[in-house]
Structure 1
Amino acid sequence: MADHVRDLASVRDATERLLTAAAKLNNDSVAEPSRLPGWTRGHVLAHLARNADALVNVLEGRLMYVSGEARDAGIERDAPRPLDVQLSDVRASAARFQEAGAVPADWSRTVELRNGVTDIASRVPFRRWIEVELHHVDLGIGYELEDLPADFTEREITFLADRFTGHPEVPPTVITDGTRAWRTGSEAGGPEVTVTGAAPELLGWLAGRRDGAELDVQGGALPTLPAL
């Protein structure tokens, strides 16, 4: 089982890094495009705040979001806010998440996320850590995949490799940074593709943040991965 206490501390630290960096923006730069297609930096910050509240819902046994439409509407509603309001919301919602995580609970229980996805409660803090770290990169304000904590990068590669394992549209694939190796893709027989590169590049490809141009591919073409 994941160490939820350690992960909650990591979420707190990652949130502080993001807030410190984002505080250097201004109202104009918050309205500028982020690295996510169709989203401004304001959209990213609004999503981070609403995601924290949604994961509080998960931990407390409620629906993560009332609906996909409600989720999207909340982000669109909050995206145009000025910087100080955005940062206050991210900080306050992060505090609510930490408070929910501090409540004594059965961390081995199964919880439901979006679209019928289930997981063990102890993995929810890591899922929040993913949101904070990757969306910090998505803000495009100087924090890159290479700046992510090494233990986070390794765990997120493992998480995404597991996510694509058994997917019929992804060929059998070995992913390696030259030291560690992961397997993903279809479990059916067939040619095996080996993808080699630095851990940040592997993570960028798996997470849809980089095109994989810096990766070495043997045994076939670089697999096209489903959207997250």
Structure 2
Amino acid sequence: MTMDPLVLMTDVEQSTEALLREAEGWDPSVVAEPSGLPGWTVGHVLTHLARNAEAYTNLLVWARTGVETPAYANPAAREEGIEAGCRRPLAEQLGDLRAAHDRFADAAAAMPAAAWAAHLPPIGQSAAGVPWARLREVEVHRVDLDRGYTPADWTDAFALRLLREIVAAAPEGSPALTLRPLGLEHPLQLGEGDGPAVSGPTKSLAAWLAGRAGGADLTVSPDGELPLIPRWK
């Protein structure tokens, strides 16, 4: 998957529009139903996606103007915003998500080429990483909504990039594993030291490491159970 932020913005647009089209056909009562995330309803996930779009809009404004604009006003604002909006009617939530996405897209369109290189301390990288971060949020949380969209629906490019990101950001103490995605010439190493090899489709490996699938179609060599891994995100 390319690092070109404008190309990634096209992916963000397509993923968001697909989610909104799907959600327009849901029963309004769905907002109170459990999502795939412990303790969160569908309404929690939808509200989070809207507030996350606004958070990333703030970071793009920071990169473009040089004026420090935190993603959230304070450490508690993220959770407070989700709780404040999660019980709203479905139509209101979808309108909010669409409007927040549009503001994010407008902020990206307003970025001069040089601004994409601006370093953003909250994400530890340049602004060029923001479109990928937003795409990751939308695609992973579409799965968390538990309304029929699964990791099998991810593109191969998205799954591979997500897999590589999870491996690169693995916390200290992660079990040593050699990951062998089918069709990928070079394995990926998780953790330090020797450990079993886990093989399977890239989408399945990414979903398992992200805590969005049980890994039923993965194989372990030498034979054994899949190891327990820290929950990602």
TM-score by length of 2: 0.88
Q: What is the rounded CA distance, in whole Å, between the counterparts of 1:159 and 1:182 in structure 2?
A: 14
Moved over 6 A (4+): none
Alignment match, 1:7 = 8
Residue 211 of structure 1: how far off its partner (Å): 2.6
Relative to structure 2, which stretch is displaced further, 68-77 or 216-225? 216-225
Residue 20 of structure 1: how far off its partner (Å): 0.4
Alignment match, 1:53 = 54
Q: What is the rounded CA distance, in whole Å, between the counterparts of 2:21 and 2:190 in structure 1?
A: 38
Alignment match, 2:99 = 92
Q: What is the rounded CA distance, in whole Å, between the counterparts of 1:218 and 1:67 in structure 2?
A: 46
Secondary structure in structure 2 of the residue aligned to 1:175: strand
Q: What is the rounded CA distance, in whole Å, between the counterparts of 1:184 and 1:30 in structure 2?
A: 39
**Residues 1:111 and 2:111 are matched in the alignment:** no
Secondary structure in structure 1 of the residue aligned to 2:197: strand
**Residues 1:196 and 2:199 are matched in the alignment:** yes
Alignment match, 1:128 = 134
- In structure 2, the gaps of 5 or more residues are 63-68
Alignment match, 1:224 = 228
Residue 169 of structure 1: how far off its partner (Å): 0.9
Secondary structure in structure 2 of the residue aligned to 1:107: helix
Identify which of 59, 66, 76 aligns with 2:83: 76
Superimposed CA distance per residue, residues 33-82 of structure 1 (whole angstroms, 9 cap, x where no aligned partner) = 11111111111100000000000111122111123321101001000000
Is the Cα–Cα contact under 8 Å of residues 178 and 196 in structure 2 kept in the other structure?
yes
Q: What is the rounded CA distance, in whole Å, between the counterparts of 1:139 and 1:158 in structure 2?
A: 24
Superimposed CA distance per residue, residues 9-28 of structure 1 (whole angstroms, 9 cap, x where no aligned partner) = 00000000000011111221
TM-score by length of 1: 0.90
Is the Cα–Cα contact under 8 Å of residues 44 and 139 in structure 1 kept in the other structure?
yes
Alignment match, 1:207 = 210
Is the Cα–Cα contact under 8 Å of residues 139 and 154 in structure 2 kept in the other structure?
yes
* Cα root mean square deviation, aligned: 1.7
Sequence identity (%): 39
Is the Cα–Cα contact under 8 Å of residues 63 and 112 in structure 1 kept in the other structure?
no
Q: What is the rounded CA distance, in whole Å, between the counterparts of 1:32 and 1:171 in structure 2?
A: 34
How many equivalent residue pairs?
Answer: 221
**Residues 1:183 and 2:188 are matched in the alignment:** yes
